[in-house]
């Protein structure tokens, strides 16, 4: 009799879940668990929380959706509100677990957490589920991952993408003595934007809607637009928490191109999937460097941390109306276009001179589609400490406004009539920022940065 504890992480689906399928095939009894860590809701190192209201609402919906699908197979999702090491140790001991199995994470923090899950008599196994390819599919060992995306793309774009796995028709039952879930102890999930529906059902609806239209034929032309949900595929929230797999998207794209013919525009969707793929292998290769100030470079960037500048950026109160609109949309909805993310990041790093990690952490808190590999990899790219062969990206914000918001429709949509672009700061004789209309606390924060 083998009792397996399957820990769901960023794979909140039954379809195309190789790790769950393997857990089912190896087990007589199966425990399906998701751990909600209380630390997600506390302030972290960069004045932000790992989990904001928008993503938590979406994640909670996704967990409820997964629980319903498991229940249809005679299972249920055991949700635990505690540190994984504590709650899983207790559960493995109480239920005499033989095997702990989960999807293979990409990022250093998640792998470090996995390494701490060492319990007497419990074997462990990781299975890749979150990428198009597994390490065995790649035409190079991980340590030889190309340093830039273009070289990576040329090596992998012709590789065969395996078809998604069908959902299991049945699952082993849970132990009779399975404890109750901690649903009632979880933080309030009623806050946040309600435009999206979390879970595999919402993912399937979006996938069907998008590929039953002709939107893929205009994707390349519209993907840089600042607003309009159909200007992008819109898959990223479900892709981030694993309610949807990249192979499901690749298959739907292939079926679309079979029906309507391939085009440069539809092909760009796969191009973007490869960008995501690259950042996941990039994160796996570089480990803790993904989160370090100097990134994968030997020299750190020429930025620091100005608390007042950072606060004005987060609250949409900088001298740039376009950046303010981007930050207001992000804060109010948990969503921001790809173009908007690039502009906001470039402005924080290049115009405000703020440590890029504070921006990456703020995006982590706010984005409904936060993906650690893609988020931190893209911020490194902008800051010049990552995979950009040109050493970072510096966008001309006014040119971008003329190009992508010439009639100020986006700025007007996301700026209140009372709001005004404020001067950021001036400098004293030593070139240190002097904040206009700063209260004592802000002035003290800035002064402390000199020490």
According to the annotation, is 219 in a ligand binding site?
Answer: yes
Q: Is 47 left (phi over 0), alpha (psi -120 to 50) or beta?
A: left
CA distances in angstroms from 152 to 104, 149, 245, 267, 371, listed in the order given: 21, 5, 21, 17, 20
According to the annotation, is 370 in a ligand binding site?
Answer: yes
Signed CA dihedral, 89, 91, 94, 96: sign only: negative
> Which of 385, 384, 386, 338 is CA-nearest to residue 363?
338
CA angle 436, 405, 270 (to 5 degrees): 115
Residue 58 CA from chain centroid, whole number = 12
Q: What would the two tokens of residue 286 be?
A: 């570089």
Residues 6 or more apart whose CB falls under 8 angstroms from that of 444 comprise: none
What angle in degrees, to the nearest 10, is found between the helix axes of 149-156 and 264-286? 110
Return d(Cα 231, Cα 75) in angstroms, integer: 38
According to the annotation, is 386 in a ligand binding site?
Answer: no
According to the annotation, is 377 in a ligand binding site?
Answer: no
> Which of 379, 290, 373 is CA-nearest to residue 104?
373
H or E element: which one contains 79? strand 77-81
According to the annotation, is 233 in a ligand binding site?
Answer: yes
According to the annotation, is 407 in a ligand binding site?
Answer: no
According to the annotation, is 298 in a ligand binding site?
Answer: no
Binding site for FAD: which residues? 219, 232-236, 369-371
Binding site: which residues? 219, 232-236, 369-371
């Amino acid at each position: 009799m083998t009792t397996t504890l399957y820990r769901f992480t960023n794979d909140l689906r039954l379809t195309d879940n190789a790790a769950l399928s393997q857990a089912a095939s190896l087990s007589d009894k199966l425990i399906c668990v998701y751990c909600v860590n209380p630390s997600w809701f506390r302030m972290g190192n960069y004045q932000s929380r790992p989990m904001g209201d928008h993503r938590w609402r979406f994640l909670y919906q996704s967990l409820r959706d997964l629980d319903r699908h498991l229940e249809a197979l005679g299972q249920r999702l055991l949700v635990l509100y505690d540190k994984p090491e504590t709650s899983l140790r207790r559960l493995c001991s109480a239920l005499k677990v033989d095997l702990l199995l989960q999807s293979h994470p990409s990022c250093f923090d998640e792998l470090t957490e996995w390494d701490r899950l060492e319990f007497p008599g419990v074997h462990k196994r990781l299975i890749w589920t979150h990428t198009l390819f597994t390490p065995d599919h790649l035409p190079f060992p991980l340590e030889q991952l190309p340093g830039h995306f273009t070289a990576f793309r040329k090596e992998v774009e012709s590789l065969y993408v395996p078809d998604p796995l069908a959902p299991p028709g049945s699952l082993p039952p849970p132990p009779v003595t399975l404890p109750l879930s901690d649903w009632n102890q979880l933080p309030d999930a009623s806050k946040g934007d309600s435009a999206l529906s979390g879970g595999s059902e919402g993912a399937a609806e979006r996938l069907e809607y998008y590929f039953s239209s002709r939107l893929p034929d205009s994707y390349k032309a519209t993907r840089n637009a600042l607003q309009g949900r159909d200007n992008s595929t819109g898959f990223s929230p479900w892709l981030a928490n694993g309610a949807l797999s990249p192979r499901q998207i690749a298959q739907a794209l292939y079926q679309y191109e079979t029906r309507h013919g391939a085009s440069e525009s539809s092909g760009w969707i796969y191009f973007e999937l490869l960008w995501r793929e690259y950042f996941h292998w990039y994160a796996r290769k570089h480990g803790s460097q993904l989160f370090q100030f100097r990134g994968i470079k030997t020299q750190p960037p020429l930025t620091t941390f100005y608390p007042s500048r950072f606060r004005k950026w987060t609250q949409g109160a900088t001298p740039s109306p376009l950046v303010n609109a981007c930050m207001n949309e992000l804060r109010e909805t948990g969503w921001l276009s790809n173009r908007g993310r690039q502009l906001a990041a470039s402005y924080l790093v290049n115009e405000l001179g703020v440590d890029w990690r504070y921006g990456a952490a703020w995006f982590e808190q706010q984005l409904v589609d936060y993906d650690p590999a893609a988020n931190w990899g893209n911020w490194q790219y902008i800051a010049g400490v990552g995979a950009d062969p040109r050493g970072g990206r510096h966008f001309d914000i006014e040119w971008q406004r003329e190009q992508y918001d010439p009639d100020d429709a986006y700025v007007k949509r996301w700026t209140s009539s009372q709001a005004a672009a404020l001067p950021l700061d001036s400098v004293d004789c030593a070139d240190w920022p002097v904040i206009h209309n700063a209260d004592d606390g802000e002035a003290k924060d800035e002064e402390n940065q000199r020490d």
